Amino acid sequence: MSTAGPPPPVPIPGARLLFSLDPGVAHLNHGSYGAVPIGVQRAQQRLRDETEANPMRFFNRGLVDRITHARRHLARFLGADPDGTALIGNVTIGAAVVLQSVGLEPGDEVLCTDHGYGSFALSIDREARRTGAVRRTLTVPLTATDEEVVEIVRAGIRPGRTKLLVVDQLTSSTARLFPAAAIAAVARERDVPVLVDGAHAPGMLPVPVDSLGADFWIGNLHKWCFAPRGTAALVVAPRWRSRMEPLAVSWEEESGFPKRVEWQATLDYTPWLAAPVGVFTLRTLGLDRVRAHNAELAAYGQRVVGRALGIAPADLIEPGGPTVSMRLLPLPAGIGTTFPDAIALRQRIGDELGAEVAVNPWRERGWLRLSGQIYNRADEYDRLAERLPALLATLG
């Protein structure tokens, strides 16, 4: 099969052996749930064993300090202020914390874009029902330039009404890279706080969090940082830290942010304590090397699968640009245009083709999202390209 472009990157030797993934499946959707290296799994299991050997000792003798140490290590990796960073379970939890802390009132609006993650919209709507605020959504074309995106946001902000602006750093459904720093600067001019959803940023994007200038930033470390699932970070600008309210009150309530948000009694803290091992693994492999490999491999997958779907290389959409490890392909018209249909198609691809991918509906069209990670090989995308058209043909 002609790849209609440059070859995929040379595999990183031994990388696949670092994971316990089923070798009979092509795992082409790292972006959704990540994959935890075996060494990180073992580190977390040792912590679980420590917990169960003496729960009283584990929870009551130095655990808060151990969490603080892990947080400081992870915050430095993210380029964030450790004293303004709280470890949380995932970005959706972080969004809920921010939404209930900014003080929404009747008549206020939370402004977002139509590229935002679905659970964020649900979180905003729930808080809006509780407070009398509203959610307003800006339409941003998939192929808009950064300058056009900034102008859309600038025109959409309504001073005096817009209480919070929510913007993605890298979108989940459309793999679109947004000019988050420029958007945050526009919002600051109008004194509107900004929440940046950086779910896919840690480990993939070489952008220090503090350089974005956001009031709030949240990101998952279990996707591209090899941390155990249930590890994320909420970074808060100094002027907001005293106002951050946890979802549930704990014994660290009087300690202030970040401990009052982090400490949730008998939560399983082993993912956070093991997360630095994931960062160590990433750095040992070579951070720049991994990023370049993954982005090139995702681009290769987009080319070969796109060619199989009849999409010429010149027509491929790259909303994230060349440095992003996720790529997008439009599905034939009428396929995967609703969430139930997208889920059904994703499951059929997994069951019948032995490939795990992401399928999302967006603007009344179905989209296939492919990821690239160090455990992937070029032939996995080749096999998907060979077999996917026949499966799609059965859907009309």
**pLDDT digit string (tens) for 224-273?**
999 999 999 999 999 999 999 999 999 999 999 999 999 998 999 999 99
End-to-end CA distance of the chain: 25
- Domain-located, residue 7: no
Interstrand relation of 109-113 and 134-138 (parallel, antiparallel or unpaired): parallel
Q: What type of residue sits at position 282?
A: L
CB 168 within 8 A of CB 176: yes
Query: Once rounded to an integer, what is the mean pLDDT over residues 201-210?
Result: 96
Total domains present in the chain: 2
What was the pLDDT predicted at 57? 96
In the sheet that holds 85-88, the strands lie side by side as 85-88, 232-236, 216-220, 194-197, 162-168, 109-113, 134-138
The reply to whether 163 and 182 lie within a common domain is: yes
- Domain-located, residue 211: yes
- Domain-located, residue 147: yes
The reply to whether 322 and 217 lie within a common domain is: no
The reply to whether 19 and 85 lie within a common domain is: no
The reply to whether 321 and 334 lie within a common domain is: yes
Q: What is the CATH number of the domain that holds 19?
A: 3.90.1150.10
CB 232 within 8 A of CB 217: no
- Domain-located, residue 2: no
- Domain-located, residue 8: no
The reply to whether 187 and 242 lie within a common domain is: yes
Query: Which domain range does residue 252 map to?
Result: 40-280
The reply to whether 299 and 221 lie within a common domain is: no
**pLDDT digit string (tens) for 24-65?**
999 999 999 999 999 999 999 999 999 999 999 999 999 999
Which residue bears the tokens 């490999």? Answer: 293
Residue closest to 374 by CA, chosen among 77, 10, 40: 10
The reply to whether 214 and 317 lie within a common domain is: no
- Domain-located, residue 84: yes
- How many helical (H) and strand (E) elements, i.e. helices and strands, does the chain have? 13, 12
- Tell me the average pLDDT of the chain: 95
Concatenated DSSP letters for 354-396? -EE-EEEEETTEEEEEEE--TT--HHHHHHHHHHHHHHHHTT-
